[in-house]
């Protein structure tokens, strides 16, 4: 699987560590920056990585900033992205099984090396469970289209 990895300056050190983890797990990494610890604005990297995922240049992305939240907010502005901020293995697993998350956002300032390795492994190796969760993702797509998911038409009913 191709995985985009990107960070701001606060996540740079962790990005380098994640590159190693992802490579050891047998995946191809694509580095979207940043490339040192000089201050940069995280929305630029989040946008570039998210666009690469929706354009099928990579299957997923892992983004790192100090809290993970800024990257998550920015990435989720791109239609088709389901970015999540995770702090433990359970969050990582559920983000895949229930939400089919395609972008993992991590806090560069808050995770230790052992937990990071386990989270990345779980997130990359957990499949979407589908079922009732598929219906919910379709409602998220309606929201992305500017439609109210509570007001499904006859046409929308056929999506189930």
> Angle at which helices 12-24 and 113-125 pack, to 10 degrees?
50
**Domain 2-129 class, CATH top level:** alpha beta
Chain segment 76-117, per-residue pLDDT in tens: 999 999 999 999 999 999 999 999 999 999 999 888 888 899
> Helices marked H in the chain — which ranges?
12-24, 42-54, 69-75, 89-97, 113-125, 132-144, 154-157
Structure tokens at 24: 């050891």
Confirm if 29 and 5 have CB atoms less than 8 A apart: yes
Is pLDDT at 154 greater than 50 in this prediction?
no
Chain segment 116-149, per-residue pLDDT in tens: 999 999 999 999 999 999 999 999 999 999 999 9
pTM of the predicted structure, to 2 decimals: 0.91
Catalytic residue check, 29: no
Residue with tokens 């929201």: 143
| Helix, strand or coil, per DSSP, at residue 5 | strand
What are the residue ranges spanned by the domains of the chain? 2-129, 130-160
Spot the catalytic one: 29, 34, 65, 72.
65
Catalytic residue check, 65: yes
């Amino acid at each position: 699987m191709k995985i985009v990895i990107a960070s701001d300056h606060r996540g740079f050190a962790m990005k380098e560590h994640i590159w190693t983890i992802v490579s050891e797990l047998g995946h191809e990494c694509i580095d979207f920056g940043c490339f040192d610890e000089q201050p940069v604005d995280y929305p630029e990297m989040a946008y570039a990585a998210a666009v690469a995922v929706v354009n099928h240049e990579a299957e997923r992305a892992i983004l790192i900033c100090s809290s993970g939240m800024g990257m998550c907010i920015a990435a989720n502005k791109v239609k088709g992205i389901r970015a999540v901020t995770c702090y433990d293995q359970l969050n990582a697993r559920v983000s895949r099984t229930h939400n089919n998350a395609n972008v993992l956002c991590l806090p560069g300032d808050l995770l230790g090396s052992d937990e990071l390795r386990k989270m990345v492994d779980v997130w990359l190796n957990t499949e979407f469970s589908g079922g009732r969760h598929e219906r919910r993702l379709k409602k998220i797509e309606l929201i992305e289209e500017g439609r109210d998911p509570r007001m499904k038409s006859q046409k929308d009913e056929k999506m189930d």
